[in-house]
A and B are shown apart, each in its own frame.
Chain A
Amino acid sequence: MQTFRSSMIKGFIQFTSAIAIASTLGACSKSDDSNTVEEPMFEPNAIVTIDGSSTVFPVTEAVAEEFQIATKTKVTVGISGTGGGFKKFCRGETDISGASRPIKQKEIDKCKEAGIEFIELPVAFDALTVVINPANDFAKEMTVAELKTIWGPEAQENITSWNQVNPDWPDQPLKLFGPGADSGTFDYFTEAIIGKSKSSRGDFTASEDDNVLVTGVAGDKGGIGYFGYAYYEENKDKLTAVAVSEEAGKAGVLPSKASIEDGTYQPLARPIFIYVKKSAAQEKAHVKAFVDYYLEQGRPLIEEVKYVPLPAEDQDAVIAHWKALKAGTGFIEGKAEVGVKIKDLLDRVQ
């Protein structure tokens, strides 16, 4: 009996200690060498907490990684989506929220209730890219009107073949792929193409995972979809980007760094933002240092993750805006404006 009892206890101890050891091993070894390397610049428990859009995530992650190496300050980044991020931000849980669309009136009200003031900072451009299958050689150039015919709410169950969009195109079944209705990308695309946010046909394959959209369009000759430029850039061999022209007769423009910077890739170039809690910027030195780093050292990182940095003069304006701690949004009633100039946006905030 005694031996049995002791073996059982031993078993329990083995099991629990195995877990404990596994969990502490890494913890000990790492915290040791971070102690020996260098003392952090700010108080040791200072953490910059960031959440928000998955579109802004790659940029923020890159900045966070480099900032953490440079200053030994802890940074955490979550992906709750633009809306989910603002929920946390307005509950005071995070210092910074990434957003692929402007803050909405409802969210502004929530923040106000909680007494949270925010500073709106455009950090980069993303090009929404319309993609088709490489075997599709007829629709390499499309007008906004044609895109509207395909994606508009009236198209539901009516527009099912390419030749219904343009009679010159073959009778090839249309297969549509797009992001889900919760995504900021969906909001912006519908605003820019259809003219009304969230107004879209519903009979398309929707996925929050852009790789699913890539696979879908790459696998179907009649496929068409849209997502952020980075996903196109990484899948150039499987997809063709559509040159978009604002109106019939104008030449189509392909998404690229140049066409975004000179403003010709319209209406699908969109700014992405971070929203910083004003009180955090004033009271927490590490949050201020992080945003400084984001705006001043972020450019090469933005390019590395396949986004387009703001033009230099706009970048300076954003930095000045940040240094002056101007709180509020430049958007009217939180509506995404297509083709809005960064300068105008910043000037509207007093």
Chain B
Amino acid sequence: MGTASTLENIDAVRAMIKRAKLKDHIFGLVGLVCIMLILLTLLILFVDLVVDGYPKLFSADFYSNFPSRRAAKAGLLSALVGSSLVMLVTFVSAVPMGVGAAIYLEEYAPKNWFTEIIEVNVTNLAAVPSIIYGLLALGLFVYTLDFGNSILTAGLTLGLLILPVVIVATREAIRAIPIAIREAAYAVGATKGQVVGQHVVRYSAGGILTGVIIGMARAIGETAPVITIGALTFIAFLPESPVSSTPPFINFEWLTSGFTVLPIQMFSWLSRPSSSFHVNAAAAGAIIILVTLLMNGIAIKMRYNIRKKIKWQ
């Protein structure tokens, strides 16, 4: 009976499958359109900046000149160096603190209402507008601690800004480690410190790195907080080099130097009366996007390399 009716209905069943497959197809297509729209937006933006900034983008002078009142002479050098040094401070300040906080919350903190509150707040911090961090930094670093409008202040501000990103990413990465790994380590007599240090953190390094680099990529494009703490618009010299050829080889004088960063340089060129500066602004914009893409690319590559090395068995 069953087979007979199935056979009788075979056409209807086939039609049904066909319809379902069509729906699949349409959904796939909609998804494709969505992703293409996103990619196209980025692509058009990037291509447009490259086309506008083309004459500057491929000129070596642009990267080795200081800002100038003449568009033809104006270059990115102080902004490039400023951004790099600020990022260095951001990295050094945010990563140990963020990773440490995440490990504590995941591995050591007791589960009670207090840690619950901390967790909710950390997640919320990630959504606080960056200008608020700028105001906080102005009050804390510039006025109270008297760090001045320096690279140190900017680096710490952006460090604070990406701290929640680093914490959340690290926690996600740690959570992805199977419980069996921990149990196995304990079973052979490892201490808590050994379990965390030699297994959990090591296996989640890929995810942690991704979080760090995505945070850094966000920080490099931030303008509002850096303006708030008093980044400069015209600075035609470089801070003291952090490394030197004579002992003691390393100095920290650069931390107190004034600075400018890429997005501020771009904004300053954009708001000029003369439209010839807009070429410089477009080129600077292309560079910022390129640096961001590059950093994200590095993150992906590192995660891939590290995951490849991990063998659970």
A231 within 8 A of B: yes
Determine whether the beta carbon of A7 is less than 8 Å from that of B91. Answer: no
**Does A88 make an interface contact (CB < 8 A)?**
yes
Does A77 belong to the interface (CB within 8 Å)? Answer: yes
Q: Within 8 Å CB of A8, what residues of B?
A: 202, 205, 306, 309
Query: What is the distance, in angstroms, from B89's C-beta to the closest C-beta of chain A?
Result: 10
Size category, B interface: 35 or more
Would B77 and A26 count as touching, CB distance under 8 A? yes
Given A11-B302, A64-B234, A76-B258, A23:B273 Cβ within 8 A: no
Mark B217-249 against chain A: 1 for CB-CB distance below 8 A, else 0. Answer: 000000000000011111111111111000000
Chain A residues numbered 284-340 whose CB sits less than 8 Å from any CB in chain B:
301, 304-306
Please tell me if the beta carbons of A27 and B91 are within 8 angstroms of each other in the complex. no
B138 to chain A, nearest CB (A): 11
Does A235 touch B at the CB level, under 8 Å?
A: yes
Q: Which of B69, B230, B239, B306 has the most CB of A within 10 A?
A: B69
Shortest C-beta distance, A115 to chain B (Å), equals 18
Contact flags A1-32 to B (C-beta < 8 A → 1, else 0): 00111011001000110011011101111110
Decide yes or no: A5 and B202 within 8 Å by CB, A27-B242, A77-B233, A235-B273 being known contacts.
yes
- Which B residues touch A5, using CB under 8 A? 202
In chain A, residues 234-253, which have Cβ atoms closer than 8 Å to a Cβ of chain B?
234-235
Query: Is B309 touching A23 in the complex (CB atoms < 8 A)?
Result: no
A241 to B254, CA, bound (A): 47
Cβ of A259 under 8 Å from chain B: no
Q: Cβ of B237 and Cβ of A74 under 8 Å apart?
A: yes
* Contact residues in A for B81 (Cβ distance below 8 Å): 23, 26-27
The reply to whether the CB of B87 lies closer than 8 angstroms to some CB of chain A is: yes
Chain B, residue nearest A57 (CB): B233
Interface residue A181 (Cβ < 8 Å from any Cβ of B): no
**Cβ B235 vs Cβ A233 within 8 A:** no
Given contacts A15-B298, A27-B238, A31-B241, contact A80 B230 (CB under 8 A): yes
Interface of A is mostly: helix
Asked if A68 lies at the interface with its beta carbon under 8 angstroms from chain B, I say yes
* Contact A23 B85, beta carbon cutoff 8 Å: yes
**CB within 8 Å for A211 and B306 given contacts A20-B242, A23-B88, A74-B237:** no
How many Å from the CB of B87 to the closest CB on chain A?
6
Cross-chain pair count, CB within 8 angstroms: 132
B87 engages A62 (CB within 8 Å): no
In the complex, how many angstroms separate the beta carbon of B140 from the nearest chain A beta carbon? 16
Asked if B270 CB lies within 8 Å of chain A CBs, one says: yes
- Please, which residues of chain A bring their CB within 8 A of the CB of B80? 22, 26
Is A182 positioned at the interface, with any CB of B under 8 Å from its CB? no
A47 vs chain B, min Cβ distance (A):
8
Shortest CB distance A98–B (Å): 11
CA distance A96 to B43 in the complex (A): 44
Contacts of A16 in B (CB 8 A): 88, 91
Q: Is B137 engaged at the interface, CB distance under 8 Å to the other chain?
A: no
CB nearest to B92 among chain A residues: A16
Q: For A68, give its contact among B148, B237, B240, B243 (CB under 8 Å).
A: B237
Distance in angstroms from B303 CB to nearest chain A CB is: 10
**When chains A and B are docked, how far (Å) is the Cα of A47 from the Cα of B202?**
47
- Hey, what's the 0/1 contact readout for A113-142 against B, CB within 8 Å counting as 1? 000000000000000000000000000000
Residues of B within 8 A of A15 (CB): 209, 213, 298, 302
A79 adjacent to chain B (CB < 8 Å)? yes
| Complex CA–CA separation, A29 to B77 (angstroms) | 11
Instruction: Give chain B nearest CB distance to A229 CB in angstroms.
Output: 9
CB proximity to B under 8 Å, residues A172-219: 209-211
The complex places the Cα of A27 from the Cα of B85 at a distance, in Å, of 10
- Assuming the contacts A8-B205, A11-B305, A210-B273, asked whether A23 and B230 have C-beta atoms less than 8 A apart, the reply is no
Complex Cα–Cα for A235 and B276 (A): 12
Closest chain B residue to A63, Cβ basis: B69
Are A76 and B69 in contact, CB atoms less than 8 angstroms apart?
no
Q: Which residue of B lies closest to A230 (CB)?
A: B273
The answer to the question of A78 belonging to the interface, with a C-beta cut-off of 8 Å to chain B, is: yes
Complex alpha-carbon distance, A209 and B273, angstroms: 10
Chain B's nearest CB lies how many Å from the CB of A78? Answer: 5
> B230: which of A78, A233, A235 is its contact (CB, 8 Å)?
A78
Q: Are B84 and A22 in contact (CB under 8 A)?
A: yes
B242→A61 contact, CB < 8 A = no
Chain B residues within 8 Å of A22, by CB: 80, 84
A153 at the interface (CB under 8 A from B): no
CB-nearest residue of chain A relative to B268?
A: A79
Interface 0/1 of B251-274, CB less than 8 Å to A: 000100010000000001011111
Partner of A78, one of B77, B91, B232, B271: B232
Do B238 and A31 have beta carbons less than 8 Å apart?
A: yes
How many angstroms from the CA of A30 to the CA of B274 in the assembled complex?
28
Contact, CB under 8 Å: A61 / B69? yes
A108 part of interface (Cβ distance < 8 Å): no
Which residues of chain A are near B205, meaning CB under 8 Å?
Answer: 8, 11
Given the complex, which residues of A lie within 8 Å of B84, measured CB to CB? 19, 22-23, 26
B179 within 8 A of partner (CB): no
Cross-chain contact A210 with B271 (CB below 8 angstroms): yes
Binary flags per residue of B271-286, CB closer than 8 Å to A gives 1, else 0: 1111100000000000
Enumerate chain B residues within 8 angstroms of A233, measured Cβ to Cβ: 273
Min CB distance A299 to B, Å, is 15
Interface check B310, CB cutoff 8 A: yes
Contact residues, A13-62 vs B (CB, 8 A):
15-16, 19-20, 22-24, 26-31, 34, 47, 49, 51, 54, 57-58, 60-62
A-B contact pairs, 6 of them (CB 8 A): A4-B309, A19-B84, A27-B81, A27-B240, A31-B241, A78-B149
9 further A-B pairs in the complex, CB-CB below 8 A; given A22-B80, A211-B273, A233-B273: A4-B306, A23-B81, A27-B81, A49-B258, A62-B69, A76-B234, A76-B258, A210-B271, A211-B271
The 9 closest A-B pairs by CB, nearest first: A23-B84, A77-B234, A27-B241, A4-B309, A234-B273, A231-B273, A62-B69, A230-B273, A26-B81
